[in-house]
C-alpha cells in the first residue's frame, strides 16, 4: 500500500516558521506510529510570485488536485500589497479553494482550559467553549461577477457582487447538518435576510434542506450582525454556525479571540469526495502571515499543528490519532508553555516557535 500524500505549501511570513513545526509532528507519526506520509513541498503566495511571477504556478495547482491533502501556512505581506489584484499572494490561495472546489470551510473555536484566562472576554463566558463555524468558501462576494473598479463620470466606483445559487447554499448546509449530528445537534444559520436577497435565498434553502433531510437537528436563524454580538455575549449558546464566505471570514476571526489568540485557530477546507472516497481537502491556520512578528521565532505554531490534526481526522480517518495530537497540545498548554501571543501571567517567559513544536513532540512521546 502506498503512503497517503501531502502537499505542503508554507507560503509567506510566519507560514514557513509554523510549518517547520508541523513537519516535526508529521515525522513523529511516521517514526513512532508507523503512519508515514509522502510529503512534497512547493511555493504559494508571495514566495511563488517572487520565483514565477504568479502566486500559484499551474504545476502546483495540478499537484494540489492530485494529492490526498494540502497543508498551507499563510500567504501575503506588505511587500506585495501594491501588486495588481490578479497576482496578489491571496489570489493563489483563492485559486486553490476555487479550483479544488473546497466549499465547506470548518473553523472550530475551542477554548482550552489552560487558556480560559487569555480571552479578552470573562473566563466563565469562554471556559469549555467548543463551537464550529462552517464558512462557505468558494462563492459569494469573494467570487461574484461583476467586480472591479470602474470609472463613472469623474468618479471611480468599486464593485463586488454577492451571488449564491441554491445548490451552493444547499451543499454547505448539508455539511453543517452532518457535522452537527456528530456534535451537539444544533445549527444556527447566519445571513442578512433583512437587507439582502441572497440572504433571503440562503435562509429559504437552509430551511428546505433542514425540513427534507435533517429534521432531527435543531435549526435556528440569526442576522449576522446580531450573531456577531451573540458570539461575544454568550458564545456557548452555539454548536455549529453556518454562514457565507464573507460573514464567515469575519465571524471566525472574532471567534479566535474567544480561544485566547488567533494563533490557536485551525481550519479544514473540504470539497466533494475523490475517487478514493477522501474529500478534496486543504488544511490551514485561520491566521495570516503576521508580518509584524515574521522571522523572529515568536509565532504560535499551534493553529497550524491543530490543522494537521484536522487532516488526520477528516482526510485520513485517524480520529484517535487526531485526539492524541490535540491532547498533546492541551498538555503543553496545561504545563504552562506559552508563545508570546499568549502571555499575560506574571513571571512566565515565552517559548519560541521551535520550542513549542518540540514541547508538542515531547508530549506525543509521553502519550505512547
Ligand atoms: P494576521 O493574521 O497575519 O495577523 C493579525 C495579528 O495576529 C498580528 O498582530 C499577528 O502578529 C498576530 N498573529 C497571527 N498569527 C499569529 C500566530 N500564529 N502567532 C502569534 N501571533 C499571530 O492578519 P493581518 O495582519 O491582517 O494580515 C497579514 C497578511 O496575511 C495579509 O497579507 C493578509 O492578506 C494575509 N492573510 C493570509 C491568510 C491566509 O493565508 N490564510 C489569512 C489572513 C490574512
Ligand atoms: C482567511 C483569509 C483569506 C480570506 C484571505 C487571505 C484570502 O483572511 O483565510 O481567513 O479572506 O478568506
Ligand atoms: Mn480571514
Q: Does ligand 2 lie within 6 Å of residue 98's CB atom?
A: no
Query: Of the bound ligands, which one is closest to the alpha carbon of residue 288?
Result: 1
- CA nearest ligand 2 atom 3, residue: 90
Q: What is the pTM of this model?
A: 0.97
The rounded distance, in Å, linking the Cα atoms of 124 and 113 is 11
The predicted-structure confidence for 337-356, as pLDDT tens digits, reads as follows: 999 999 876 778 899 999 99
pLDDT band at 363 (very low <50, low <70, confident <90, very high): very high
Q: What is the CATH number of domain 130-257?
A: 3.40.718.10
Is 58 one of the catalytic residues? no
CA neighbor of 5 nearest in space, from 268, 280, 272, 265: 280
Task: Tell which phi-psi region holds residue 153, choosing left (phi > 0), alpha (psi between -120 and 50) or beta.
Answer: left
Domain layout of the chain by residue ranges: 1-110+261-368, 130-257
The rounded distance, in Å, linking the Cα atoms of 55 and 96 is 10
Rounded to two decimals, the ipTM of the complex is 0.98
The predicted-structure confidence for 89-123, as pLDDT tens digits, reads as follows: 999 999 999 999 999 999 999 999 999 988 889 99
Establish whether domains 1-110+261-368 and 130-257 are of one fold: yes
Choosing from 50, 101, 130, 253, which is the catalytic residue?
Answer: 253
Distance 107 CA to ligand 2 centre (A): 12
Q: Is the pLDDT of residue 52 over 90?
A: yes
Is 51 one of the catalytic residues? no
- What is the Cβ-side half-sphere exposure of residue 251, based on CA atoms within 13 angstroms? 36
Q: Does ligand 2 lie within 6 Å of residue 249's CB atom?
A: yes
Is 253 one of the catalytic residues? yes
Is 216 one of the catalytic residues? no
Predicted pLDDT at 31 = 97
Q: Does ligand 1 lie within 6 Å of residue 291's CB atom?
A: yes
pLDDT band at 145 (very low <50, low <70, confident <90, very high): very high
Has domain 1-110+261-368 been given CATH number 1.10.3720.10?
no
Q: CB–CB of 305/285 below 8 Å?
A: no
Amino acid at each position: 500500500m502506498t503512503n497517503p500524500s501531502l502537499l505542503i505549501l508554507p507560503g509567506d511570513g510566519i507560514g514557513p516558521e509554523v510549518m517547520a513545526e508541523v513537519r516535526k509532528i508529521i515525522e513523529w507519526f511516521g517514526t513512532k506510529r508507523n503512519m508515514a506520509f509522502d510529503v512534497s513541498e512547493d511555493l504559494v503566495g508571495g514566495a511563488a510570485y517572487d520565483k514565477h511571477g504568479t502566486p500559484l504556478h499551474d504545476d502546483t495547482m495540478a499537484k494540489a488536485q492530485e494529492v490526498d491533502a494540502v497543508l498551507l501556512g499563510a500567504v501575503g505581506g506588505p511587500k506585495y500589497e501594491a501588486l495588481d489584484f490578479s497576482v496578489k499572494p491571496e489570489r493563489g490561495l483563492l485559486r486553490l479553494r476555487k479550483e479544488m472546489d473546497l466549499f465547506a470551510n470548518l473553523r472550530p473555536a475551542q477554548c482550552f482550559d489552560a487558556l480560559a484566562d487569555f480571552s479578552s472576554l470573562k473566563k466563565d463566558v469562554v471556559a469549555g467553549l467548543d463551537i464550529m463555524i462552517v464558512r462557505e468558501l468558494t462563492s459569494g462576494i469573494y467570487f461574484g461577477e461583476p467586480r472591479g473598479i470602474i470609472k463613472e463620470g469623474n468618479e471611480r466606483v468599486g464593485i463586488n457582487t454577492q451571488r449564491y445559487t441554491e445548490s451552493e447554499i444547499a451543499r454547505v448546509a448539508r455539511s453543517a447538518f452532518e457535522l452537527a449530528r456528530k456534535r451537539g445537534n444544533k445549527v444556527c444559520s447566519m445571513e442578512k435576510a433583512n437587507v439582502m436577497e441572497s440572504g433571503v435565498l440562503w435562509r429559504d434553502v437552509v430551511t428546505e434542506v433542514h425540513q427534507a433531510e435533517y429534521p432531527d437537528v435543531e435549526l435556528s436563524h440569526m442576522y449576522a450582525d446580531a450573531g456577531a454580538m451573540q458570539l461575544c455575549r454568550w458564545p456557548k449558546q452555539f454548536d455549529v454556525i453556518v454562514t457565507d464566505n464573507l460573514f464567515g471570514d469575519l465571524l471566525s476571526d472574532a471567534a479566535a479571540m474567544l480561544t485566547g489568540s488567533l494563533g490557536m485557530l485551525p481550519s479544514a477546507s473540504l470539497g466533494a469526495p475523490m475517487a478514493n472516497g477522501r474529500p478534496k481537502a486543504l488544511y490551514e491556520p485561520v491566521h495570516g502571515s503576521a508580518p509584524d512578528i515574521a522571522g523572529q521565532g515568536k509565532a504560535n505554531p499551534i493553529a497550524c499543528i491543530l490543522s494537521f490534526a484536522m487532516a488526520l481526522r477528516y482526510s485520513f480517518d485517524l480520529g484517535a490519532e487526531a485526539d492524541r495530537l490535540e491532547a498533546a497540545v492541551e498538555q503543553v498548554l496545561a504545563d504552562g508553555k506559552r508563545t508570546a501571543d499568549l502571555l499575560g501571567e506574571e513571571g512566565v517567559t515565552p517559548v519560541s516557535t521551535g520550542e513549542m513544536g518540540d514541547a508538542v513532540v515531547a508530549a506525543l512521546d509521553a502519550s505512547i
